[in-house]
Amino acid sequence: MTNEKFEMSENSFSEHDQKSEIFDDSEYQEHTQHMRKYETMEGFPEIKGYNFEEKFDFDKFTDSFKNTGIQATNLGMGIEITNQMIENDTTIFLSCTSNMISSGNREIIKFLVKNKYVHAISISAGGVEEDIIKTLRPFVIGTFDISGRALFDKGVGRIGNIFAPYDRYLYFEKFMQPLFDRIYEEQKSRKIPFTTSEFIFELGKEIQREEKYEESVLYWAYKNNIPVFCPALTDGSLGDLFHFQKLKRKDFYIDILGDHQKIVNIVLNAEKTGAILLGGGSAKHYVLNANIFREGLDYAVYITTAQEYDASDSGGNQQEAMSWAKIKVNAPNVKIRAEASLVFPILVAATFKKKFDRDKK
């Protein structure tokens, strides 16, 4: 199923004067002469859900989304487009906001990075630091509606219904201090600052000192040489630590420009580019903006709850991106209007997991 099958226009419809099976000739003629112009929509995909009375088949289940309607149809399209990316050896960018790392989607992203199914990542600063933090100490399940005052008094931060005790950031700071010392000395030795992706690469290298290092997304990105971009690296706890480093060492720098050249080169050297964009923010736009240099992505799958009506980039849809040459005008694309912790695992199970199982045989 392709986008064209879902794009309805005046040309999609044809005049139908066929008889309805409900009426005989005379009744049909009598009823239709009193009706305004209408279409029978014959030939369009029929709305139909999965039959749970049959033996459960996961492939049939996910394939049924395309004809379910509402956002299930968009998810079905997203699955199909992602499979096209895989089949056509596309250079795949994954962008995500930090809550994807806060949540159990971190393990799904790790699966993609560990198995080299994505080729570059764009992420917010919280996602970088929380991957390290959760390798050191876990976050725990909480609730959305607990009193902020109660959590503040107990020294617990809240990310939706995920609780992050303050002490996790003490462990993070302790982990970071020797890395900062090493990075600073290497910066002086090589006489140029680290780019953000080089700094994140060193984080993935450094986390090997920890017992549970193989749980880390950044470790597998380091091991597989998959660049992790973070255009707003100071927007979080890392930024606070950078602030203190700058007070301590006036000649400490991070190079942002170098990463922009790096991501543009990846885009220009790719035969085809595709993106799976979880949420919005700078992580999303960094991928879209880089692809302007090749007149747009060849494939795009958005998963977000943000809407386009406030003119924010986070909510901006594919048509808006096409107007800036961030997505090719004929590119298969879809915006799945849903919360990513619900639908991203399903999308991965119906696409990359199938490839994983095929590759193991």
Q: What is the pLDDT of residues 49-84, one digit of tens each?
A: 999 999 999 999 999 999 999 999 999 999 999 999
Least confident of 38-47, 97-106, 166-175, 228-237: 38-47
pLDDT beyond 80 at 9? no
Q: Is pLDDT of 177 > 60?
A: yes
Whole-number pLDDT of residue 17: 42
Known active-site residue 19: no
Q: Fill in the amino acid letter for 79.
A: I
What is the rounded distance in angstroms from the CA atom of residue 235 to the CA atom of residue 125? 6
pLDDT tops 60 at residue 27:
yes
Dump pLDDT digits (tens) for 324-333.
999 999 999 9
Which of the listed CATH numbers 1.10.645.10, 3.40.910.10, 3.30.70.580, 2.70.210.12 matches domain 83-139+169-345? 3.40.910.10
Average pLDDT over residues 271-288: 96
Which amino acid belongs to residue 186? Answer: E
- Residue with the larger pLDDT of the pair 117 and 39: 117
pLDDT of residue 356: 95
Contacts with 328 (C-beta within 8 Å, 6 or more apart), sequence order: 295, 296, 297, 298, 322
Average pLDDT over residues 217-245: 95
Least confident of 6-15, 94-103, 276-285, 352-361: 6-15
DSSP letters spanning 197-233: HHHHHHHHHHGGGSTTGGG-HHHHHHHTT--EE-TTT
Catalytic hit among 326, 335, 355, 361: 326
Strands 194-195 and 162-165 turn out to be unpaired
**How many other C-beta atoms lie within 10 A of the C-beta of residue 326?**
23
Confidence of residue 18 (pLDDT cuts 50, 70, 90): very low
Instruction: Annotate 309-329 with DSSP letters as a single string.
Output: GG--TTT--HHHHHHTTSB-T
> CB neighbours (10 Å) of residue 138?
12
Pairing of strands 140-141, 162-165: antiparallel
Read off the pLDDT of each residue in 192-220 and give the average, rounded to a whole number. Answer: 96
> Read out DSSP for 7-57?
---GGG-----PPPTTS-HHHHHHHHTTSPS----TTSPPP----TTSPP-
* Residue from 84, 89, 48 nearest 69 by CA: 48
Query: How much is the pLDDT for 22?
Result: 53
pLDDT of residue 23: 54
> Quick one: average pLDDT of 265-280?
97
Instruction: Indicate the average pLDDT of the chain.
Output: 91
d(CA 195, CA 161): 34
Bigger pLDDT: 319 or 218? 218
Comparing C-alpha atoms, which of 242, 232, 298, 312 is closest to residue 270? 298
Tell me phi and psi for residue 107, to 5 degrees: -65, -30
CA–CA separation, 353 and 361 (whole Å): 13
- List the chain domain ranges: 83-139+169-345
C-alpha separations of 74 from 6, 60, 108, 149, 273 in Å: 10, 16, 21, 40, 20
Q: CA 255: distance to chain centroid?
A: 25
Residues in the chain: 361
| Range 23-47 average pLDDT | 74
